[in-house]
């Protein structure tokens, strides 16, 4: 699978909304895979935030939402809170089971 592209960093003030993009090609983020998103706090294991492009697991705040259009997936965090400061990774998952992660985006709450 091809490499994915994410912004290195995104910042916002408490209460604001931010969006993290994840761009790929038709063979990964496009029609032949789905995207999931993971949050990782320092020295912690990643945690699933979004799967199947836009679905939210139980227990994840509804402030987190996902979407996909063409070869770009997006994670939006609304009502930004201090606890949202973390690294966020998109993951393109092929039906076969192979996966590729984006380089990660550091979210800073100002």
Binding site for other proteins (CB under 8 A): 33-34, 36, 38, 40, 45-48, 51-52, 55, 57, 87, 89, 91, 93-104
Q: Which two tokens stand for residue 72?
A: 């770009």
SS3 38: strand
Tell me the closest approach of the beta carbon of residue 11 to other proteins, in angstroms: 19
Tell me the closest approach of the beta carbon of residue 44 to other proteins, in angstroms: 8
Tell me the closest approach of the beta carbon of residue 40 to other proteins, in angstroms: 8
Nearer to other proteins, 53 or 85 (CB): 53
DSSP states along 74-106: EEEE-S--GGG-EEEEEEEEETTS-EEE---EE
Nearer to other proteins, 19 or 101 (CB): 101
Identify whether the C-beta of residue 19 lies closer than 8 Å to the C-beta of residue 75.
yes
């Amino acid at each position: 699978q091809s490499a994915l592209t994410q912004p290195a960093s995104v910042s916002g003030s408490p209460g604001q909304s931010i969006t993290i993009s994840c761009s790929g090609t038709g063979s990964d983020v496009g029609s032949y895979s789905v995207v999931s998103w993971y949050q990782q706090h320092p020295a912690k294991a990643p945690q699933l935030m979004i799967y199947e492009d836009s679905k939210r697991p139980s227990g994840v705040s509804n402030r987190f939402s996902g979407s996909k259009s063409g070869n770009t997936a997006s994670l939006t965090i609304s009502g930004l809170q201090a606890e949202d400061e973390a690294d966020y990774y998109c993951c393109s998952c092929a039906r076969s089971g192979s996966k590729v992660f984006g380089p990660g985006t550091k979210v800073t709450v100002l």
